[in-house]
Amino acid sequence: MSAIDEVFAVIDAIHDTLIAPLCSVIAPIGLFLLVMLVLSRPSMCTNSKEKAYLAAQRSDLRNLVVAQEMRYGNGRGYATALSPDEYRTSTGVTLVSMTVGPRGFTAVTSYPGGTAKRCRMTYERGGQVEPTCDK
């Protein structure tokens, strides 16, 4: 038997006596832990849905800035209500309130069928727009 054959024989022996038995024990335990982790987190889907509802509200508030700026640019100023031709919310999103001033406006949205959390935004002409939502 050559030296290489002896090395492979030792490797095979180590595999058969140590590694193979460990794999047969570790693999089922790992699978069990993975299944338990997934089953213990039912809120994963709920959180994803809620994130989508909040993202729709934030997007609608950003779109409101564009609509109000177009109106303002046409010399009509900011409005507390816009026509459907000027602005529409996404399906499920409701524009709860909007107050306007000479340099901007504040708006609040909700998503009654999806989440109790509301999003709001205060916009001042030329400023940054970043809606915030309830936590």
**Given the structure tokens 């939502």, which residue do they identify?**
133
The predicted model gives 5-11 an average pLDDT of 81
Q: What is the pTM of this model?
A: 0.66
State the pLDDT at residue 34.
67
State the pLDDT at residue 4.
81
What's the pLDDT tens digit per position in 19-78? 777 777 676 776 677 666 666 665 555 588 999 999 999 999 999 999 999 999 999 999
State the pLDDT at residue 29.
75
State the pLDDT at residue 14.
82
Write the secondary structure of the chain as one string of H (helix), E (strand) and C (coil).
CCHHHHHHHHHHHHHHHHHHHHHHHHHHHHHHHHHHHHHCCCHHHHHHHHHHHHHHHHHHHHHHHHHHHHHHHCCCCCCCCCCCCCCCCCCCCEEEEEEECCCEEEEEEEECCCEEEEEEEEEECCCCCCCEECC
